[in-house]
Amino acid sequence: MSTQLFSLAGKTALVTGSSRGLGFAIAEGLAAAGARLMLNGVDAARLDASAAALRDKGYTVDAHAFDVCDEAAVVAAFAKLDAAGIAVDILVNNAGVQYRKPMVELATEDWRRVIETNLTSAFVVGREAARRMIPRGRGKVINIGSLTSELARATVAPYTVAKGGIKMLTRAMTAEWAAHNIQANAIGPGYMLTDMNQALIDNPSFDAWVKGRTPAGRWGKPEELIGTAIFLASDASNYVSGQIIYVDGGMVSVL
Ligand code: GCO
């Protein structure tokens, strides 16, 4: 009984920003649990290569190249899925960028770009998914937050604000969609070994700070998000909504 609870067999999952990094790791984990995958990214060549790598492992994978910041492209992508009779059962709003600069030096257009990519896109893609999940009477939305949904660090203000917004967007989705049997939750990764963080990983003093500040004493691995993602994507979480689960080695819980 317990293993069936975590099965994603027969479900279709769309993971935004899944050509690489956390999105790719989560997508692979959902596929391993039985989901049919829809990868997304803006770079079609990179996306096709990632999809091929997962197909080589025996997974069912389609690549859907569109920019989550382009509302018309998002609407068109969902219309294409409608026409193909494909329903998105699980949406993972993972797409995001990082831009590190002190606020007094930050251009407004860079602020807007980070907010658009990391927060507004989750609303737009979530809205299109929910418009189809509501009539079906079920759905799962997993928004990717960050430990910066809870704590601020200097020089990453737009990212922090966007990820804080992701936490509250998740609760807003719950307020409006839980009655339709749609569970919206978030995952808050800690400092993970990803391309986005490579400059930090390569910085000896930052690397030492992360290892000292994180109770687990190390960086996280992208694959360490998979268990939480499967839980939130599966029937095991059918009465869980509005939550953010920090996968952070204990960082947000300890001074
Ligand atoms: C930074 C990092 C963080 C990461 C971290 C927490 O510059 O501090 O990029 O913002 O997102 O992995 O999620």
Instruction: Looking at the CA of residue 98, tell me the nearest atom of ligand 1.
Output: 9
Q: pLDDT tens digit string along 107-130?
A: 999 999 999 999 999 999 999 999
* pLDDT for 243: 98
59 is catalytic: no
159 CB less than 6 Å from ligand 1?
yes
Label the pairing between strands 61-65 and 139-144. Answer: unpaired
> What are the CA-CA distances from residue 172 to residues 44, 127, 143, 241, 245 (Å)?
32, 12, 12, 10, 16
* pLDDT for 110: 98
Taking CA atoms only, the protein residue closest to ligand 1 atom 7 is 156
Cβ proximity of 217 and 211 under 8 Å: yes
Q: pLDDT tens digit string along 49-90?
A: 999 999 999 999 999 999 999 999 999 999 999 999 999 999
Q: Is the pLDDT of residue 25 over 90?
A: yes
Q: What percent of the chain has pLDDT over 70?
A: 100
Instruction: Looking at the CA of residue 192, tell me the nearest atom of ligand 1.
Output: 12
pTM above 0.95, yes or no: yes
Cβ proximity of 82 and 132 under 8 Å: yes
156 CB less than 6 Å from ligand 1?
yes
* pLDDT for 1: 63
250 C-alpha to center of ligand 1: Å? Answer: 15
183 C-alpha to center of ligand 1: Å? Answer: 26
Active-site option among 159, 191, 239, 246:
159
Q: pLDDT tens digit string along 33-53?
A: 999 999 999 999 999 999 999
* pLDDT for 78: 98
**Tokens linked to 133:** 């999940």
Residue 248: strand, helix, or coil: coil
Q: Which of left, alpha, beta for 39 (phi over 0: left; psi -120 to 50: alpha)? A: beta
189 CB less than 6 Å from ligand 1?
yes
Q: Is the pLDDT of residue 216 over 90?
A: yes
Q: What is the dihedral of CA 193, 8, 55, 69, to 10 degrees?
A: -60
Question: CA-based angle 213:162:147, to the nearest 5?
Answer: 20
98 CB less than 6 Å from ligand 1?
yes
100 CB less than 6 Å from ligand 1?
yes
77 CB less than 6 Å from ligand 1?
no
197 C-alpha to center of ligand 1: Å? Answer: 7
